[in-house]
Amino acid sequence: DGGITQSPKYLFRKEGQNVTLSCEQNLNHDAMYWYRQDPGQGLRLIYYSQIVNDFQKGDIAEGYSVSREKKESFPLTVTSAQKNPTAFYLCASTPDRDKYQPQHFGDGTRLSIL
């Protein structure tokens, strides 16, 4: 079955460390998104990519970086510049980059600080 796979499910970061969250999709979707979820705040957009080798900042991009070298992969790096990284991170995708469509979500990665 097609879907989005996020790994790892749980991740721990030490002070000053960069960590990378994986997001892979086999849906052949053009667009991919990263959201951060904090209790009581819903989902906030970190970065999005509408096509390979291109990505754009979302609303809370500071302290994060991404790449989109392959259509199926959109990894997110949480850098040491992100001072409050503890959150639930969700990756999503949509088939077309130029339409509003339902987003398909992975099962998320929970990041905590050691």
Interface positions with another protein (CB under 8 A): 4, 6, 31, 33, 35, 40-45, 48, 50, 56, 58, 90, 92, 94, 97-103, 105-108, 110
Q: Which is nearer to another protein, 17 or 96 (CB)?
A: 96
Task: Look at residues 4, 28, 17 and name the one whose alpha carbon lies nearest to residue 106.
Answer: 4
Cα–Cα distance for residue pair 42/54, rounded to 1 Å: 26
Backbone angles phi, psi at 25, to 5 degrees: -130, 140
Q: Are 58 and 47 in contact (CB under 8 A)?
A: yes
Cα–Cα distance for residue pair 49/89, rounded to 1 Å: 16
In angstroms, what is the minimal distance from the CB of 48 to another protein?
A: 5
Q: Which is nearer to another protein, 62 or 107 (CB)?
A: 107
In angstroms, what is the minimal distance from the CB of 15 to another protein?
A: 25
Q: Which is nearer to another protein, 33 or 85 (CB)?
A: 33
In angstroms, what is the minimal distance from the CB of 43 to another protein?
A: 4
Task: Look at residues 13, 6, 24, 5 and name the one whose alpha carbon lies nearest to residue 79.
Answer: 13
In angstroms, what is the minimal distance from the CB of 93 to another protein?
A: 11
